[in-house]
Amino acid sequence: MADPKSREGQRYDTAEIHAFLDALHGPHDKALGLAFSAPERTGLPQIQLGQQEGGLLTLLMRLIGARRVVEVGTLAGYSGLRLARGLQPGGRLWTLEYHPRHAMVARPALVAAPPGVTVKLLEGDAKETLPKLEIEGPFDAVFLDADKAGYAEYGAWAAQNLRAGGLLIADNVYLFGRLLEENEEAEAVRRFHHEAAEAFDTCVVPTPDGLLIGIKR
Ligand SMILES: C[S@@+](CC[C@H](N)C(=O)[O-])C[C@H]1O[C@@H](n2cnc3c(N)ncnc32)[C@H](O)[C@@H]1O
């Protein structure tokens, strides 16, 4: 059920509820705990997914039997490890990261991917890397979590390079509450929403900053 206040954005979760649930659902083992805490330990921005969002990525990969997945925005490798853990044996994850320092922190975290799953971290601007990746497609899933001004371009790439039935997943689709503002970044994310709704069956999960999930038609 939802009541009018929750439809308007009121939330019922608290830090204590999160702690209770995080201990039960998709709890961190040592490798996930290290990947999650790496930004704080190494002075990177602490902008990785939350634990339950990470768990959702693993479950979604398992649900679709994913083998070939692209992530845009690695940071320290937490979401990459969550994706890798949902892949089928023989699966491959390509994760794209702009900052060499972030890539350096992520590499050891991603070594904890399951045996038989290959993770390739590609350094550089995703706008340049994605066209070179096309040859590896079609892909089962694309997860977007990088510069929001690039979302329209990344979403269009996903629409071209996902198989029918493949998943587009994108974080921060409320744009930190600024989605409806008049500026270039917000316009790009709104364009992303329009294009996603056109090429995918979509919904937005009301996570703290909105998580779009779409199935390619
Ligand atoms: C929100 S963080 C990713 C968090 C990560 N997905 C997680 O949950 O563990 C965004 C990352 O995208 C990277 N990034 C930003 N613009 C990029 C671009 N154009 N190409 C590749 N990576 C980019 C940033 O350097 C940053 O590490």
Distance 75 CA to ligand 1 centre (A): 5
3-state secondary structure of 172: coil
Task: Encode pLDDT of 15-45 as tens digits.
Answer: 999 999 999 999 999 999 999 999 999 999 9
3-state secondary structure of 156: helix
Task: Encode pLDDT of 137-174 as tens digits.
Answer: 999 999 999 999 999 999 999 999 999 999 999 999 99
Query: According to the model, what pLDDT value does residue 125 have?
Result: 98
* Residue 39 Cβ contacting ligand 1 at under 6 Å: no
Q: pTM of the full predicted structure? A: 0.98
Going from N- to C-terminal start, the domains of the chain cover: 13-216
Q: Which fold has domain 13-216?
A: Rossmann fold (3.40.50)
Distance 208 CA to ligand 1 centre (A): 18
Distance 213 CA to ligand 1 centre (A): 18
Report the nearest-CA residue for atom 7 of ligand 1.
48
Distance 98 CA to ligand 1 centre (A): 7
Query: According to the model, what pLDDT value does residue 99 have?
Result: 98
C-beta atoms surrounding 189 within 10 Å: 26
Residue 2 has pLDDT above 90, yes or no: no
Task: Encode pLDDT of 48-78 as tens digits.
Answer: 999 999 999 999 999 999 999 999 999 999 9
Contact 186, 178 (CB under 8 A): yes
Task: Encode pLDDT of 87-106 as tens digits.
Answer: 999 999 999 999 999 999 99
* Residue 105 Cβ contacting ligand 1 at under 6 Å: no
